Chains A and B, each alone.
Chain A
Amino acid sequence: MSEDIILEARNLVREYRTKEGMFGKLNITRALKGISFKLERGKTLAVVGESGCGKSTLARILTLIDPATEGDLLIEGKKIDIAQQKITPEMRGKVQIVFQNPYGSLNPRQRIGDVLTEPLMINTDMTPQERRDKAMEMLVKVGLGPEHYNRYPHMFSGGQRQRVAIARALVLNPSLLILDEPVSALDLSVQAQILNLLADLQEELNLTYLFISHDLSVVRYIADKVMVMYFGEVVEYGTRDEVFGDPKHDYTKTLFNATPRADVAHIKERLARTA
């Protein structure tokens, strides 16, 4: 397995055009300024950056919600442009997403069972019984039980909801999963559980992750490669050890310095400075 590239972005650009009033001048905001990267099957790419740097815009393009203004998106070697072609169920099944906020990403009026079977109903021609079995299987896989099938989202804790969201993303057997800050809304102890679950699932299903985060300790734990974004541009891209060991760009250094550190030497140094 030398070069099994599952996702390739070539020079992706996304512009938002807004007009001030009916005859006002056109404002063009460039949210992404030419993003390129490759992602190998079974690996994890972490995308790091501050709020508003284009991480979520990138996620929206990769999950085929919004089209890119310029540039090419290749999934498993095939070029995909949703501005020109209709999205087939087959394409839908390749890329799925898990959102940051587990309280907003589940429909409050939908039972967990329906949350999990809806994608199957729309994208496959399984019978209701097959869909049900598949949903049950996914529930068990993410650490929930069949008894949760008929419950509503408000009966679950944040960690459980995030498990449901992961199950929903996996139910179509995607090869690529976009994780948009999947643990930043959770308690620390639950964060670890979810991260372990994600690691287990990656190994079991040979999944590829694109992990969006601004928590560097989480990134250090889960990532193979790291991409640092700053105002819509990639300022640093390399393996985890390269980026963490030898940050090149000023912003990356600032970012590392901003991470809270709890080791004794560091605390002593800080106390010495302030004293």
Chain B
Amino acid sequence: MTPKLSTTEIATLIILALASVAILAVPKFAGLSLQLDLSIIFVYAILALSMGFMWGQVGMLSFGQTVFFGIGGYSYAIFALNTGDTTTAMLLAILLPMLVAALLGYFIIYGGINDIYFAVITMVATIALEKAVRATSDPRIKIGDVRLQGQNGIAALPDLKVPWNPSETLFVTEVYYLIFIAMLLVTAAYALLLRARVGRVLVGIRENEQRIALLGYDPRRYKLLIFVISGGVAGLAGGLYAVWGNFVAPEMMNLNASASVVINVLVGGKASLLGPLVGTGIVQSLTSWLGSAGVGQVNVVLGLILIAAVQVFPQGVVPMVSAICRWGLGHLVRLAQPSRRASATGGKQ
């Protein structure tokens, strides 16, 4: 937690930079379908990050992060279809979920709800909203001119328009860049937040909420703040999802969707910001690859992988890989400079 960058942070930055170069180069040599596959992974990565940050850094397990994802997606869909203005629609996709997060967050955080109860109440929120949206199949139920269509969801959403030139819309490759850059910006914003004073208070809350309170900070204010921010980020992911596939549907908010956010974070590891991103990449690409690989029941394979993951890398993939790297690096350094052992292994936080 020093203002100087730690080795882990430097490593993260290097990995991110290398990955970014590779990812930005993808459209040069790969087809549209790969770009689409990667775009949706980035969308889920943003969602996973919004959940993983709260969980890993602050200790708040939001099992229903998809409630904001869904509200974001529907905000974009309804506003864009009604007005044709996709820029404002995207802003609403961030702001409305923040508003809902503020209300819900005030209700539960100031109510002193913690731990597993926090998880369950957020889960209940997402399921309740999903059920409510699914109950809007009656063709007479409309917001503006847009029929909500319940279970069926809303399809044929307008493509995102260039804000300063609304006659031009973004095609697959531009959407790919947009989503990727959004993911980078969100990651960077969370990293900066973590390094700011607020971030240190948040981590302090995770470590010992009572002590933070005794130091004169009101933990509830900080928790509400991060809940609202993460709600906005999840909403952004929802808006981008709507742009990606030109559809939204209640299944964005169901139990499966909310559980898979948690799974993505757990597989990657919640301790770092890289974890949710990597975890999402692994789980999502496995799911879509298995579906066309002819393995029969995809669930069997996915289930076995999850079970194995818990036993083999309980902290997630990222911490394990970085531990291996550090171990390897330590050996290399030791071979080169046998006398300076102690400092070479000192990279641990």
Chains A and B bind each other: no
Chain A residues close to B by CB (< 8 Å): none
Chain B residues close to A by CB (< 8 Å): none
